[in-house]
Amino acid sequence: MATLIEMPKLSDTMTVGTLVNWLKKEGDPVANGDMIAEVETDKATMEVECFEDGVLIKQYCKEGEEVPVGGAIAAIGEAGEAAPAVEAAAENTSSEASTPEPAQPETTSAPTEPVVEAPVSVPAEVVATASSTSGDRVKASPLARKIAESKGIDLSQIKGSGPNGRIVKADLEAIKEAVSNSVQASEAKVSTSPATAIESIPTLEALDIPVSNMRKSIAGALVASKTQAPHFYLQIEVDGAPLANLRKELNQRLADLPKEHGGIKFSVNDLTLKASAEAIKRVPAINRSWEGNTIKQHPNVDLAFGVAIDDGLVTPVIRAAENKSLRQVSNEAKSLIKKAREKKLAPNEMSGSTFTVTNLGMFGISDFYGIINPNNAAILSIGATIKRPIVNDKDEIVIGQTMKIGLSGDHRVIDGAVGAQYLLALKEILETPSLMLV
């Protein structure tokens, strides 16, 4: 008797999943432990495992379709066995299945200066005819399709390097590099007039962008946090020079060493994550959460940090960060960031945090306040280190490096005094950063 494979619940907030890629075709033999499909959840792209031996006799949904949690996606049985009938659970909400491919832009006789956001025409010599097409349909990941649509790239011209010839983001990046080289070579022969260059500047356009499962999850969680948790805001200014000097000294001594000999390169994010966990040890009241009838104080710092990815934001978690060395925090953060950008984070790697740090300093943002990550008591917002005139302890005006750090607190759980105590503890550690190495 055939067994139905259902859309699994891969996160606490997941209600639907988008089947982005079939790894097995109808008629393929499958065994217990085989991965049969890739599913996009509200937080990541994950593989669906088969727990039966047999043959994949039926696929109940197409790539790009949404299926509710518990809805049938496939049937496993014996060769020649009829698949059981199921109610149509899939709801196709993807633009790739409901709208035609965008019209390709006309090319001009003379090449113009390449602009990142301008439509890209793929030279014939750059790619072979695609093996990623199935009938009239091009196999491409949702991210690759979105990039291609925004850049005006004809996916039918591209040979995919993903599973079963599927086009992925890396294929488009290779195309962009090849196009850039092709245009630069042409520019050596043909001069472009100012009028032609101006025409290549992208213009504003109306777009209806489908809301991904991840964006729906982010919207729901943050609206709930902002409306249910009464936020209050504090800010402190820190001398960023000692932290910058420590990072420079550590990297000068360690960055060039082989990894097996202790080589490592620390980022500002690594140092601030370690410092924030150390400060919580001094002010444990910040490490709490609202539980309705009780306020829970956590015995460990499960430290979340924001990672921006192509279609949203995820917050992977470093468990028991207060007990880990700077090197351990750095290695774990880098591993989690890599997984996040590849959409390979497991649900338990991005849930259950007790405190969150978000950093926009790398974008030049000097000060901001984040929205609290449910069910944390607070979120720390790290700004850029800025050089500016300051007055030193001798009343002299000198060039200093200042860093502004914001804290958003949940007034149900903590009061302003607790937030202020925490920021003062953090300031002391950042201005004497050797304290976090002992």
Q: Which residues contact 60 (CB under 8 A, 6 or more apart)?
A: 67, 71, 72, 73, 74, 75, 86, 89, 90
> Does residue 333 come out as left (phi exceeding 0), alpha (psi in the -120 to 50 range) or beta?
alpha
What sign for the dihedral angle of Cα 7, 9, 14, 19?
Answer: negative
Helix spans in 128-212 (H): 142-151, 169-187, 194-199
Token pair in block for residue 49? 């495992």
* Amino acid of residue 283: V
Buried b (16+ CB within 10 A) or exposed e, 398-425: eebbbbbbbbbbbeebbeeebbebbbeb
What sign for the dihedral angle of Cα 18, 22, 27, 30?
Answer: negative
Cα 361 versus chain centre, distance: 17
Closest CA to 308 of 344, 345, 340, 346: 340
Catalytic residues: 411
Token pair in block for residue 341? 């950008």
Helix (H) or strand (E) holding 401: strand 397-410
How many CB atoms neighbour CB 192 within 10 A?
A: 16
Longest Cα–Cα distance of the chain, Å, equals 88
Token pair in block for residue 156? 């039918």
